[in-house]
Amino acid sequence: MADLATYLLTGLGLVFFIAGTVGLVRFPDQFSRLHALTKGDNLGLGFIALGVAFQAESWAQLAMLALIWVLALLAAGTVAQLVARAALTEQDKP
Amino acid sequence: MTRVLLTALIHRALLLGGAWLALTSAALEALAPGAVAVAVAVWLSLRLLPPKHPFALWRLARHVPRFVAGSVVGGVDVARRAFSPDMRLNPGWLELPSDLPDGARVALGGELSLMPGTLSAGTEDGKLLVHLLDTDAGFDRAIPREAEEIAAIIGQARSARG
């Protein structure tokens, strides 16, 4: 049962990682691409962490998985702004 | 010691101490070095990012379900567009006046970048620059509520408009 949940959730997570990458390739401008990458990967990692959590043997492993997701999404939110910012100033230059 | 500093000290000690316990599985032999490491980390964190505003942890906790729901909707939305043949994108920009302090504005920008259809590109002249994936989808309607909740976390009710 736990294995099934792991397969389903990590599989779903991979779908969102692929979606983020597909968006990165297909979306027309760098800002739209950032949307895909940031949101797709955030949700993808969330599902993978949740799926792996079903294999955890201790609370410490659960806490580590949660920590990984929280740190990654803090980084994603921050880096998305920085990249968008850099792209913006570049575009504004003549 | 001010109240703001004291709450920041307690929050950060709990956060970093919790991280240490998680990373070491609360092993007994790791407790002593952990006490030193956490103390130094809290000191460094207060040096690098001095607390300027009160911080209501319970409001942040209350905000989590909304954030998780937004993450799911945002991820599903970009995935649907990425896989659909025509993608239905109509990108555009929005300038948002915001009187949130700097750190809170960065937090709002980071959060918006993970919420459905919005992406922040920092601030210009006190205005938050928000990129919308689809200007027809009404993604911007959620922004005032996010700004309000972030303002409430740092004890500034009704400080964010627009």
Of A16, A29, A73, the CB nearest to B79: A16
Q: What is the CA radius of gyration of chain B?
A: 19
Residue of A32, A63, A78 with shortest CB distance to B22: A63
**How sure is the predictor about B162, in pLDDT bands with cuts at 50, 70 and 90?**
very low
Instruction: Give the minimum alpha-carbon distance from B114 to chain A in angstroms, rounded to a whole number.
Output: 5
**What DSSP character marks residue B118?**
E
Please state, for a pLDDT cut of 70, what percent of chain B lies above it: 96
Are the beta carbons of B75 and A39 separated by less than 8 Å? yes
Q: Which of A27, A67, A81 sits opposite B122 (nearest CB)?
A: A81
What is the spatial distance between Cα B99 and Cα B97, in angstroms, rounded to a whole number? 7
SS3 content of chain A, % helix, strand, coil (to 5): 90, 0, 10
The H-or-E segment that residue A57 falls in is none
Q: What is the pLDDT of residues B102-133, one digit of tens each?
A: 889 999 999 999 999 999 998 888 889 999 99
Interface check B98 vs A, CB under 8 A: no
Q: With an 8 Å Cβ cutoff, are B121 and A31 in contact?
A: yes
Compare CB distances from A77 to B89, B110, B129 and report the shortest one's residue: B110
Of B22, B71, B122, the CB nearest to A43: B71
Give the closest-approach CA distance of A92 to chain B in angstroms: 13
Cβ contact B102:B52 at 8 Å: no
The predicted pLDDT at position B127 comes to 87
Which residues of chain A does B24 touch, with a Cβ-Cβ cutoff of 8 Å? 60
Interchain CB contact of B83 with A (< 8 Å): yes
**A32 HSE (CA, 13 A, CB side):** 21
- The pTM assigned to this predicted structure is 0.89
pLDDT value, residue A91: 63
- Using an 8 Å CB-CB cutoff, list chain B residues near A87: 121
pLDDT at A93 over 60: no
Asked if residue B138 has pLDDT above 70, the reply is: yes
Give pLDDT tens digits for A13-34: 999 999 999 999 999 999 999 9
Q: Where are the beta strands (DSSP E) in B57-139?
A: 92-97, 118-124, 127-132
Lowest mean pLDDT: which of A53-67, B39-53, B94-108?
Answer: B94-108
CB contact under 8 A, A19 and B78: yes
CB contact under 8 A, A22 and B82: yes
* Encoded amino acid at B147, one letter: A
Q: What is the pLDDT of residue B17?
A: 96
Question: What's residue A88's pLDDT?
Answer: 85
Question: What ipTM, to 2 d.p.?
Answer: 0.90
User: Which of B59, B26, B16, B55 lies closest to A67 in space, CA to CA?
Assistant: B16
> Structural domain boundaries of chain B?
3-48, 57-153
At residue B93, the pLDDT reads 92
Q: Which residues of A touch B129 (CB under 8 A)?
A: 84, 88
